[in-house]
Amino acid sequence: MTVPAIELHDVTRRYDDGPPALHDTTLSVAPGEAVAILGPSGSGKSTLLNLIAGLDRPSGGTVTVDGVRVDKLNETGSARYRRAKIGMVFQFFNLLDDLTVIDNVVLPAQLSGVTRSAARLRAAELLDALGVARHAAAYPGRLSGGERQRVAVARALMNRPTLLLADEPTGALDTASGEEVKRLFNDLHADGQTIVLVTHDLPLAESCATRTIRLVDGRVVADDVRAVTTGRGR
């Protein structure tokens, strides 16, 4: 059996007040899986994603990603871990407005110590592959929502992450742009990229996820593994 890409064991995340945002969650994701996390607002989806990304720490339980005990990492360790293994995509793109598209994309590589010139080649390839190459020198503010999200995906893929995490990637997009992004994720999954996707967007989940996990009030209430098909919708 291969090492799971993600393994959560009895993970709880409690904030100061109220019930825990995540409650005794145990789950395992295999490499190459595309998992969609569904659930109502406030059910703990983002919390779960942040724990996997090492942006947050569980109040209890263990988080292991690709053999790394994420919950045990210190700040520096978790930054290095994210650089090496995680690519993140957000609802509101979170691009840096004062940097050009290409500079946004090369940033993760540069933070790992790769020079700009060395990183540019891969960045250009990624932008090309994602169909936004002509905007390389533009500033993100000038791009449409769908284009921005592609740039964000390019940036997430820059360091060839083991794991792509996406938090409502289509949440801020119009239908057409949403469709673009959906196709993009399908392609990535087809290429073998392990993906964890938080979404409200049921069609998105259905088209590109091999497995759907449903959260309610911080608990996993359903975990459906579909027969692994093409991952390209039905």
Ligand X SMILES: Nc1ncnc2c1ncn2[C@@H]1O[C@H](COP(=O)(O)OP(=O)(O)O)[C@@H](O)[C@H]1O
**Positions that interact with another protein (CB under 8 A):** 46-47, 50, 53, 55-56, 75-76, 79-84, 86, 88, 90-92, 94-100, 103, 107-108, 110-113, 115-116, 139-141, 155, 159
Least Å distance, CB 81 to Mg ion, is 22
Neighbours of 38 (CB within 10 A): 22
Nearer to another protein, 31 or 77 (CB): 77
Of the candidates 86, 221, 228, the one whose C-alpha atom is nearest the C-alpha of residue 209 is 228
Q: Is 46 in the site for ligand X (CB under 6 A)?
A: yes
SS3 195: strand
Nearer to Mg ion, 46 or 64 (CB): 46
Cα–Cα dist 220/223, whole Å: 7
Backbone angles phi, psi at 121, to 5 degrees: -60, -50
Q: Is 15 in the site for ligand X (CB under 6 A)?
A: yes
* Contact assessment for residue 209 and residue 164, using Cβ atoms and an 8 Å cutoff: no
Least Å distance, CB 79 to another protein, is 4
Neighbours of 15 (CB within 10 A): 11
| Interacting residues with ligand X (CB under 6 A) | 15, 21, 39, 41-47
Q: Which residues bind Mg ion (CB under 5 A)?
A: 46
